Amino acid sequence: MQVYEAPLRDMKFVLHELHADKTLGDDGFGNLEALEEFTPDLVDAVLEEAAKVAQEVLLPLNRSGDIEGCTLENGVVRTPKGFKEAYDLFREGGWCALASAPEWGGQGLPEQVNKMTEEMICSANLSFSLYPGLTHGGTTAIEGYASEELKQFYLPKMVSGQWSGTMCLTEPHCGTDLGMLRTKAVPQGADEFGGSYKISGAKIFISAGEQDLTENIVHLVLARLPDAPRGVKGISLFLVPKYLPKEDGTPGEANGVSVAAIEHKMGLKASATCQLNFDESVGWLVGTPNKGMEAMFTMMNTERVSVGVQGLGVGEAAYQSAVWYAKDRLQGRSLSGVKNPDGPADPIIVHPDVRRMLMTMRAYNEGCRAISGWVSRALDAEKFSTDPDVKQRASDFVALMTPVVKALFTDLGFESANLAVQCYGGHGYIAESGVEQYVRDARIAMIYEGTNGIQALDLVGRKLPAHMGRYLRSFFHPVSQFIEAHKEDETFGKMIEGLEKAFGALQLSTATIAEKGMKDPEEAAAAATEYTRLVGLVAMGYCFARAALIARARLAEGAEDAAFYKAKITTARFYFDRILPQATAAFLAIKSGKASMMELEDEAF
Amino acid sequence: MQVYEAPLRDMKFVLHELHADKTLGDDGFGNLEALEEFTPDLVDAVLEEAAKVAQEVLLPLNRSGDIEGCTLENGVVRTPKGFKEAYDLFREGGWCALASAPEWGGQGLPEQVNKMTEEMICSANLSFSLYPGLTHGGTTAIEGYASEELKQFYLPKMVSGQWSGTMCLTEPHCGTDLGMLRTKAVPQGADEFGGSYKISGAKIFISAGEQDLTENIVHLVLARLPDAPRGVKGISLFLVPKYLPKEDGTPGEANGVSVAAIEHKMGLKASATCQLNFDESVGWLVGTPNKGMEAMFTMMNTERVSVGVQGLGVGEAAYQSAVWYAKDRLQGRSLSGVKNPDGPADPIIVHPDVRRMLMTMRAYNEGCRAISGWVSRALDAEKFSTDPDVKQRASDFVALMTPVVKALFTDLGFESANLAVQCYGGHGYIAESGVEQYVRDARIAMIYEGTNGIQALDLVGRKLPAHMGRYLRSFFHPVSQFIEAHKEDETFGKMIEGLEKAFGALQLSTATIAEKGMKDPEEAAAAATEYTRLVGLVAMGYCFARAALIARARLAEGAEDAAFYKAKITTARFYFDRILPQATAAFLAIKSGKASMMELEDEAF
């Protein structure tokens, strides 16, 4: 059964305690003057309201949406029953506008709060999350690159959720390699937005490309100008509305954008994934001609962290649904003596192998949430810090961690979904249980917004070498300081020794990749996936070690919710016992180099 | 796209070379007099015919079967279009009878050949494989336990495939814990089959429980006699035909077995998974009263190896479909220089991270196939060897490896299916690509016939301690002999050192589990899953090291198909470089013990 209660206690721990703890050395990303009004009380109130929306409005539509899916009839896409009403509630409640700038009608909440809210929405209903989610990616690009006129005209409507947004990048023959794209943009002469273009081409995999939730849709489309250079250096970004707005701002005539098909997908069935045809559709340039990739990456990078959070969201829902079943299902007896003497059997949560699965999911979720909180604090500091050093360090950290968050969280979210199915046994394979949907839904997050393999290449190929390795220092520095300070801790010394070992493996791997990769880029690429995992494992380990130390201090102070802090310490121990050892395997794989991976002739496959 | 060509070359290598190589010390399971007629030529001819059936008859129905699924209308189950014709062809070709004893009309082929054939069928169409597959499980139980009269009457029809079989174990409230089952059997007095019973109860998850392929279905049903002791000691096995046969052996009147529903599942959609109601259905006892679990386990153990092979089968199909795409899809340029100068981009197989995925799948499949061949040789030797020592050792090895094969192959098959989707990127998430079906289909194999967690418990709880650890020796002995003999090999010494290290970790883990588990069974259970994987990793490593040595010898002899042997060496190297390192992580996890896994209070979850 799909059950979900927002993990507010853990979210608050991550937001208010984990990274801000002065005794352990805080991350320096807090205390931003611009965010002073967002007091802990206000933040908590927002999270509690978000939890209600997720639990009461979105969760009940998750399974029905999966069963019903979206339909396309006579060019019209219909979302599943209840989605329109839920979207209206969501929009009217101001949830579309949460993360956007007050200038455009947004609420300007800190990213720390937004990312936690996103997690809840994704836990409750991943398909639904894409409708407002893509709009937010679109507004980011418009805000950063479009002309003042376009901003003034489009942003308020998009920020409020009255109109939605899409990202139209992929074409049938090109996804990762956008240099090959063929969609054309032909200039039409000047107008009040600085000149329009006629856009023609076919785009695929467009999430929310068409739907029945908003009165207009604003497509952000990558296309080529007639004189554009070949490859990625000849791509421009255009804003193409579904309906051309009238002067009064209401949607006018149709703009030549049609839906060729909606995809039949493994999951995410309530999200309409469209094939769109642009037939001389009128559009406006966003940013500089031939610099579309830059604007696209702004949008994409924001989205990548969010897609990571999607993985976490599904992982948390899967965990909770598995816990519910493990307490409910009676089967077998505990090896340490009967636990439910009045029942015909014990609940399966007594069995070590079921515990192994539950604890694994729990550790993944708490570990990812801790990183999510850390990265969102950096996102806020990057934007709002008045200290140029902090700003720089925050920006470095975000750049470094974006591919890690995307790849790690989505891999682990998928693994959690699978573990949930395993906890349910045969019942998990039946659609009625609701948990196999988590597997199907979570699977896409490892692919879209750049496959996890692409994330890994971004990390080793772009982020590691940038500025002579400066990005990495924003991560290595706090970790090594922490290890130095606490490796002789009397309770957790062994845990921190484990972290030190994994961190040592990461440092060595970094040196190996830098050295070998300099001579042969294939060597770096061959190590990329395992290296990305290794960074993620060390980051989670660091967060868990901090969490354990903080929990111990709170317990010593006689904190009220001792159960929470005790569980945090146990989960941290489990992480170090059972999950961090994967770091050694990753290190050995990295060390082995590219030879056996690359030597087989293509024909031998 | 779903593509599949049976990997005959590798199958022949496993059957004729890998385990039979005299210079490396053969496994002692070969040269069985009873199987002398099955010359390598005959074996190869059977495999080649099986490949044709898989590729030409079954593969074309795999995706259409997934799309159409099974339907239930007015109590009648219909399999997808083409399944009936395919089943008739399959049956008429003698494929149902391949593995059965000639006494009952079977062809009595060695298990070595059967398992390879099963792999092909599962690669081509996993859903289809269940229809003949379950029948085979049923005939095994009947042959081993039923009265002579039941055998004479039912086996010929089941072996030929004219009638099919099912295994009716699970009930809504009990799967793993069959001790709780409620289906009743009431004696009706003597008849020509030794006395009939009336069986009443509800069973769920019955594969091929009802279908339109055969004229009758023989259900093997676990039920309780009126005076039965509680728990698993009070369970008996009954044979319950769908239609009561007339004296002439044709199906007569309906026997009170009805289909309450067919399940809506994540995958395996062309296999009808039924909820069956038995309403005073007439049945006959198979074996001794209250000893049904024993007969059931005979059937189950045979099936467990076959379910492992299902995982391998899907993994191979997924691999081939991924290779096809990786050669076809043009995207990006090779980091080591353009490989396809005339095209707009290089095929993605040039990219290291795509190679990593393909090589991983390849290593999994070849590694599992090597183990499959080894275990099937043992199955043959257990049955046919005239040397009591060999017979005993073979039987020990089969007992030990059955849970490993089931858990390892299905875990890795699922992982391969997921890697295939990842190779396809966004296209893999679309149903049309055919690869997401592999993920959905493969998922069930980790669950049914005992979840992989149950396999692990079987290994550490039953198989390790049995006869003072004797089973384990059938595996440890050849591995340690091999390591001793070859650790200083000039080409492969480092590889064999890797094996030695992993084997050392396995030995240490075994000792830890034996010692801790003696005092506290939860300690053994907490280590079970990682231990099972560790055994599997060492077994694959041993097979790959042997394969590499054999391949080197063949190359030195100037073997004709040098490409095959070269690729074998590369794949072996990749296994040691990239996959065997997981053994260290498993070892560390085992060593950590149960504390952090078990200490959280139930309420804290």
- Distance from A436 to chain B by nearest Cα, in Å? 6
Q: A-chain residues within 8 Å CB-CB of B452?
A: 422
pLDDT at B556: 98
Q: Do B593 and A577 touch (CB under 8 A)?
A: yes
pLDDT tens string B450-486? 999 999 999 999 999 999 999 999 999 999 999 999 9
Contact of B210 with chain A, judged by CB distance below 8 Å, is answered with: no
pLDDT at A304: 96
Structure token pair of residue A11: 């979210």
Residue that is written with structure tokens 């007339």 in the block: B246
Q: B-chain residues within 8 Å CB-CB of A594?
A: 352
Contact of B598 with chain A, judged by CB distance below 8 Å, is answered with: yes
In chain B, the percentage of residues whose pLDDT exceeds 90 is: 95
Residues of B517-547 as b/e, b for ≥16 C-beta within 10 angstroms? Answer: beeebbbbbbbbbbbbbbbbbbbbbbbbbbb
Helices vs strands, H then E, count in chain B: 19, 11
How far apart are the two ends of chain A, measured CA to CA in Å?
Answer: 42
Active site residue A449: yes
pLDDT at A35: 95
Q: Round to whole Å and give the CA distance between A334 and B79.
A: 41
- Distance from A390 to chain B by nearest Cα, in Å? 35
Contact of B448 with chain A, judged by CB distance below 8 Å, is answered with: yes
Backbone Cα Rg of chain A: 24
Say which amino acid occupies B403. P
Alpha helices for B75-170 (secondary structure H)? 83-92, 111-124, 126-145, 148-160
For Cα atoms B121, B125, B130, give the angle at the middle one, nearest 5 degrees.
Answer: 75
pLDDT at A300: 84
Summarize the confidence of residues B492-506 as an average pLDDT. Answer: 97
Quick check: A194 pLDDT over 90?
A: no
Which of B175, B323, B584 faces A605 most closely, judged by CB atoms? B323
Q: Do A177 and B355 touch (CB under 8 A)?
A: no
Helix, strand or coil, per DSSP, at residue A196: strand
Q: Do A597 and B521 touch (CB under 8 A)?
A: no
What backbone torsions phi and psi does residue B100 show, to the nearest 5 degrees?
-90, 165
From the list A403, A469, A325, the residue with the least C-alpha distance to B175 is A325
Contact of B426 with chain A, judged by CB distance below 8 Å, is answered with: yes
Q: A-chain residues within 8 Å CB-CB of B566?
A: 604
**Chain A contacts in chain B segment 449-478 (CB below 8 A):** 451-453, 456-457
pLDDT tens string A468-492? 999 999 999 999 999 999 999 999 9
Q: Is A26 exposed, middle or buried (0-12, 13-18, 19+ CB in 10 A)?
A: middle
Q: Give the number of other Cβ atoms within 10 Å of residue A385's Cβ.
A: 23
Residues of B405-427 as b/e, b for ≥16 C-beta within 10 angstroms? Answer: bbbbbbbbbbbbbbbbbbbbbbb
Q: A-chain residues within 8 Å CB-CB of B180?
A: 331, 344-345
Q: Round to whole Å and give the CA distance between B9 and A82.
A: 55
Quick check: A297 pLDDT over 90?
A: no
CB B141 within 8 A of CB B295: yes
- Catalytic residue selected from A118, A210, A449, A530: A449
Contact of A569 with chain B, judged by CB distance below 8 Å, is answered with: no
Summarize the confidence of residues A277-296 as an average pLDDT. Answer: 95
Which of A430, A526, A592 faces B352 most closely, judged by CB atoms? A526
Quick check: B300 pLDDT over 90?
A: no
Instruction: Output the 3-class SS for A245-313.
Output: ECCCCCEEEECCEEEEEECCECCCCCCCEEEEEEEEEEEEEECCCCEHHHHHHHHHHHHHHHHHHHHHH
Q: A-chain residues within 8 Å CB-CB of B335?
A: 521-522, 525
**Chain B contacts in chain A segment 108-167 (CB below 8 A):** none
**Chain B contacts in chain A segment 9-68 (CB below 8 A):** none
pLDDT tens string A65-94? 999 999 999 999 999 999 999 999 999 999
- Judged by average pLDDT, the poorest of A348-352, A469-473, B96-100 is B96-100
Query: Can you give the length of chain A in residues?
Result: 605
Residues forming a β-bridge with A257: A278
Q: Do A266 and B439 touch (CB under 8 A)?
A: yes
Q: Round to whole Å and give the CA distance between B303 and B140.
A: 10
Residue that is written with structure tokens 């229809």 in the block: B131
Structure token pair of residue A279: 């037939």
> How many contacts, defined by CB atoms under 8 Å, are there between A and B?
269
CB B327 within 8 A of CB A602: yes
- Distance from B244 to chain A by nearest Cα, in Å? 30
- Distance from A180 to chain B by nearest Cα, in Å? 7
From B521, which residue of chain A is nearest by alpha-carbon distance? Answer: A335
**Chain A contacts in chain B segment 352-381 (CB below 8 A):** 352-359, 362
Residues of A152-176 as b/e, b for ≥16 C-beta within 10 angstroms? Answer: ebbbbbbbbbbbbbbbbbbbebbbb
From B522, which residue of chain A is nearest by alpha-carbon distance? Answer: A335
Q: Do B599 and A422 touch (CB under 8 A)?
A: no
Query: Can you give the length of chain B in residues?
Result: 605
pLDDT at A553: 97
pLDDT at A301: 84
How far apart are the two ends of chain B, measured CA to CA in Å?
Answer: 42
Summarize the confidence of residues B544-549 as an average pLDDT. Answer: 98
Structure token pair of residue B425: 């990127």
pLDDT tens string A572-603? 999 999 999 999 999 999 999 999 999 999 99
Q: Do B354 and A600 touch (CB under 8 A)?
A: no
pLDDT at B297: 85
**Chain A contacts in chain B segment 493-532 (CB below 8 A):** 520-522, 525-526, 528-529
- Judged by average pLDDT, the poorest of A1-10, A353-362, B94-103 is B94-103
Structure token pair of residue A340: 């439910």
Q: B-chain residues within 8 Å CB-CB of A234?
A: none
Domain architecture of chain B: domains with CATH: 301-591 (1.20.140.10)
Q: Do B522 and A335 touch (CB under 8 A)?
A: yes
From B587, which residue of chain A is nearest by alpha-carbon distance? Answer: A581
pLDDT tens string B375-393? 999 999 999 999 999 999 9
From B570, which residue of chain A is nearest by alpha-carbon distance? Answer: A596
pLDDT tens string B304-321? 999 999 999 999 999 999
Structure token pair of residue B103: 């006494």
Summarize the confidence of residues B505-514 as an average pLDDT. Answer: 97
- Judged by average pLDDT, the poorest of A18-22, A520-524, B352-356 is A18-22
Which of A352, A425, A582 faces B597 most closely, judged by CB atoms? A352
- Distance from A166 to chain B by nearest Cα, in Å? 17
- Distance from B592 to chain A by nearest Cα, in Å? 6
Alpha helices for A53-110 (secondary structure H)? 62-68, 83-92
Q: Round to whole Å and give the CA distance between A354 and B526.
A: 9
Contact of A401 with chain B, judged by CB distance below 8 Å, is answered with: no
Which of B521, B578, B605 faces A358 most closely, judged by CB atoms? B605
DSSP secondary structure code for residue A576 in this structure: I
Q: Round to whole Å and give the CA distance between B502 and B486.
A: 15
CB A403 within 8 A of CB A463: yes
Quick check: A99 pLDDT over 90?
A: no
Handedness of CA B372, B376, B377, B381 (dihedral sign): positive
Quick check: B525 pLDDT over 90?
A: yes
Q: Do A596 and B604 touch (CB under 8 A)?
A: no
Q: A-chain residues within 8 Å CB-CB of B415?
A: none
Q: Do A570 and B443 touch (CB under 8 A)?
A: no
From A339, which residue of chain B is nearest by alpha-carbon distance? Answer: B602
Q: Round to whole Å and give the CA distance between B92 and B84.
A: 12
In chain A, the percentage of residues whose pLDDT exceeds 70 is: 100
Residue that is written with structure tokens 């493994």 in the block: A266
Helices vs strands, H then E, count in chain A: 18, 11
